[in-house]
Amino acid sequence: MLLARNRHIMNTDSSLLDVTPRITPPLDPHFLPAVLANRKYRSALKVCAKKVCMAIALERENCCVYRHDLDIFPAGTGHDSDTLRYIKRHLAFVIWSRGGWKLSLNGPETFCAEIVKLYSPGGARRFDSEMMTKAYDKPFTVEVVESDRVPEAKEADLSIGGHTDGCRIGFDLGASDYKVAAVVDGSPVFSEEVPWQPGTRCDPAYHYSQVMNGLKLAASHMPRLDAIGGSSAGIIVNNQVKVSSLFRAVPGDAFGNFIKPMFLNIGNEFGVPLVVINDGDVTALAGSMSLKRNAMLGVAMGSSEAAGYLNAKGCILGCLNELAFAPVDFNDNATADSWSGEIGVGALYFSQQAVNRLAMAAGFIFPAELSLPERLSQVQEKSDKGDRRAQEIFVTIGTYLGYTVPHYMEYYDFSNMLVLGRVTSGSGGELLLTKAHEVLKQEFPDVAERVTLHVPDEKSRRIGQAVAAASLPELRQG
């Protein structure tokens, strides 16, 4: 059974965004790669006698601004639906890759009005605006301004990690387990993967005690403790949890009072420097440290998709990099994410969620009580034994990846990409990477020459992020 057997394609032959990829994912025949849709729109625009600009700027903390203007068809040319879709998907990617609290627009009134409506309190993308409000502690606003009032780009280069002196603990919090490592002068002396169930526990005491128990276990394997570095799914700003699916079951007041300052309290309890950042940025840091390379985009395929970026200087830009919510599929009938409500987003293409979605399309039937990690393990075991249905799941994800690498390059300047996470383990992971390389070589030979895909060894896949996270804090002098 194919993923979209009972679906119809809403794009028509006249759509500027309708394009058939040369290589079709075996379990998702209606996959419409964002990069191909964008390129087709821009190609059609080249022969247009008139075009206009939609100026877009997104401001976040420390007055940083991401600016990316779009050339579009004027309103009323018969392409309004495609143009609005093109703008909306671009904005969704910008908001979740960069983050911010103030969106400034200048462009055709028709399209600007639709965007304002989209992100209004009752709008279709209120999830995005609400999450940005939580992340930056400011109401998310959309303003239509004169062209000379659209802010110019301003980015920050922030050095992170690389500190290996002393006795350190590193941890990496995931949805099904968390990893903790004791590291002495850069070498791990102890590591452990601890199962937990954060997504279903509403008592913040559970989360605090679970993390503390793991840290104390790691500390017991060292003569002293000098610093703690952490990696966590979600939006982390100044060591505070602003938004995270790990703690979504914790009610509002308890979240604000206990989860938000949890890492600050843990650092105070141990009395050592503590730094916690988004798990995606730690993924990129882990790749940079192990490969001795920068210009690195890291993508971890775990319970969701985590991503992080280091520029050519080896610095982060202070961006969200929450690509789990950024669209990669322009098919209007793509599956909607259960949390954000957005369709065709990365979490459903590069994670255990993707494996589960495709496994059902391939004909697998799981007991309702079986968790996503357990379902992944079953599929991986089948793949290792040569089961064609299981193998097609990883080939499909590899096809997704091959078409998404050049899409990511439209927003990030990278020449190295680290791919890791439980989904990439075993023979299934090998199939995934092989297919991604095939797509790149056939569809995007220029990208295949410019970008190198890296995979860590099996041990690094499991604990590499925890070890890299340990290097985040600088030790106190004196």
Contact between 374 and 40 under an 8 Å Cβ cutoff? The reply is no
Helix, strand or coil for residue 15?
Answer: coil
Query: 388-409 vs 34-46: helix axis angle to the nearest 10?
Result: 40
User: Half-sphere exposure (CA, 13 Å, Cβ side) for 131?
Assistant: 22
**Domain 282-465 - what CATH class?**
alpha beta
Domain boundaries, the chain: 34-149, 160-278, 282-465
Q: For position 458, what pLDDT does the model report?
A: 56
Q: For position 9, what pLDDT does the model report?
A: 30
* C-alpha to C-alpha distance for 281 and 240, rounded to whole angstroms: 15
Q: For position 463, what pLDDT does the model report?
A: 59
Pick the CATH number of 160-278 from 3.40.50.10800, 3.40.50.300, 3.30.420.40, 3.30.70.270: 3.30.420.40
Q: For position 441, what pLDDT does the model report?
A: 98
CB atoms within 10 A of CB 147: 9
Task: Take residue 4 and report the two structure tokens written for it.
Answer: 């979209």
Contact between 455 and 428 under an 8 Å Cβ cutoff? The reply is no
Distance from the first to the final alpha carbon of the chain: 65
* C-alpha to C-alpha distance for 405 and 86, rounded to whole angstroms: 19
Containing H/E element for 191? strand 187-195
Contact between 112 and 118 under an 8 Å Cβ cutoff? The reply is no
Q: For position 245, what pLDDT does the model report?
A: 84
Contact between 411 and 421 under an 8 Å Cβ cutoff? The reply is no
DSSP state of 334: S
Q: For position 478, what pLDDT does the model report?
A: 58
Whole-prediction pTM: 0.88
Q: For position 48, what pLDDT does the model report?
A: 84
Q: For position 243, what pLDDT does the model report?
A: 86
DSSP state of 198: G
Is it true that 160-278 and 282-465 share their CATH fold?
A: yes
Averages of pLDDT over runs of 10 residues in the chain (478 residues) are: 35 75 97 98 91 96 92 94 97 96 97 97 94 93 97 86 93 88 95 91 96 96 97 88 90 94 96 92 86 92 91 89 96 93 97 97 96 95 97 98 98 95 92 98 98 78 77 84
Q: Of 343, 345, 296, 287, nearest to 316 (Cα)? A: 296
Helices (H), 297-371: 352-362
* C-alpha to C-alpha distance for 314 and 157, rounded to whole angstroms: 9
Contact between 401 and 419 under an 8 Å Cβ cutoff? The reply is yes
